[in-house]
Amino acid sequence: MPVFGTFKSNKVEADKKGEVKPHIGGQAVIEGVMIRNKDIYSIAVRNPDGNIEVVKKDINTPVEKYKILKAPFIRGIVALIENLVLGIKSLLYSAQIAMPEDEEEKKKRKKSEKNRSDIFIFLSMIPAIILGIVLFIVIPNLATHYIGVVEKTHPFVFHLIAGFIRLAMFILYILVISLLKDIRKTFQYHGAEHKSIYCYEAGKPLVVEEARKYKTLHPRCGTSFLFFVFFIALIIFPIITVTIETLYPDFVNFNLALRKIILILSHIIIALPIIASVSYELLKITDKMKNVIFMKILIAPGLFLQRITTKEPTDDQLEVAIEAVKAVL
């Protein structure tokens, strides 16, 4: 969720041969790719010796047990949480495989994998979540205030400007990190993931020669999802502000600092789940109707951002992505 990956969909469709194929998703990890299907996920990583290590694990999801979690707008929040947890697990695993280690270190790694709990995974997510909130909610909000736009008198203008600041910061962020050698390699694996998924969805043989032909841009990509998040936030954030002021008219008279704290918390606690769920549904609709002109217009900005977050992979990287796809079929 990942930014460097593709959302799995419950949708199934027929390929050119008429075979029904379930959608798969995944993400780039360190020196490799994670791919997930409905019930299982795989991680393929190239180790320091040059060999590809593949692990396959079950996905313990409550979705099949509680059908309500498949309902529109609810499923988006569930999918986001599942992908975040799965993404962190995959990144931690790939980091251990990709780094050189002796036999003693391997034993310690296997022991730590056995003892690692979901609490540890959750704690690993906290710094990234805090950084995201500060960069893309707190700073744009405060920056817009200090350039002289008053939220309580012009809430929609305020959040329109804050939204553009938020998007600009995100683009600047991914441009800067793309200059790092290791991140650029991850972006190449991101492109390899997309190409291998395209190859699978087209019903072609899962070999490097076939996968190489496809694009690195994919409409179900997490980067496109993030663009929808920024877009929907332009609408939801001012609605939350106006709703609070309507329910509590005295809110406009609150101390500025207290008012900002309440608004930012309401954006995090109330608005973000709504934005995530709506963005997920929009991602599914645009993927299903991607050949409709209006949908192509909606998809275009996300595909543009993917030109930064995906790079053309090498054949060796495609080989890793293909092994990850094969493992979940």
Higher per-residue pLDDT: 53 or 13: 53
CA–CA separation, 33 and 54 (whole Å)? 10
The pLDDT value recorded for residue 112 is 58
Phi and psi torsions of 124, nearest 5°: -70, -25
Q: Mean pLDDT across the chain, nearest whole number?
A: 87
The answer to whether 214 and 194 have CB atoms below 8 angstroms apart is yes
The pLDDT value recorded for residue 23 is 83
Alpha helices for 69-211 (secondary structure H): 74-98, 103-115, 118-133, 139-146, 155-177, 181-201, 208-211
- Predicted confidence (pLDDT) per residue in 185-203, tens digit: 999 999 999 999 999 999 9
Residues 86, 91, 92: CA angle, nearest 5 degrees: 100
Q: In this predicted structure, which of 52-56, 121-125, 217-221, 278-282 has the lowest mean pLDDT?
A: 121-125
The pLDDT value recorded for residue 65 is 80
Q: What is the mean pLDDT of residues 155-176?
A: 91
CA within 13 Å, CB half, 195: 30
Closest by CA to 277, choosing from 36, 79, 82, 86, is: 79
DSSP string, 43-78: EEEE-TTSPEEEEEEE---STTT-GGGGSTTHHHHH
52-58 and 5-6 as β-strands: parallel, antiparallel, unpaired? unpaired
The answer to whether 325 and 200 have CB atoms below 8 angstroms apart is yes
- Asked whether the predicted pLDDT for residue 300 surpasses 90, the reply is yes
The pLDDT value recorded for residue 84 is 86
The pLDDT value recorded for residue 111 is 57
The pLDDT value recorded for residue 1 is 43
* Helix pair angle (118-133, 74-98), 10° resolution: 110
Q: What is the mean pLDDT of residues 141-153?
A: 86
Q: What is the mean pLDDT of residues 317-325?
A: 98
Cα-only R_g, the chain: 21
pLDDT band at 118 (very low <50, low <70, confident <90, very high): low
Q: Which two tokens stand for residue 97?
A: 């495989």
- One-letter identity of residue 20: V
The pLDDT value recorded for residue 50 is 93
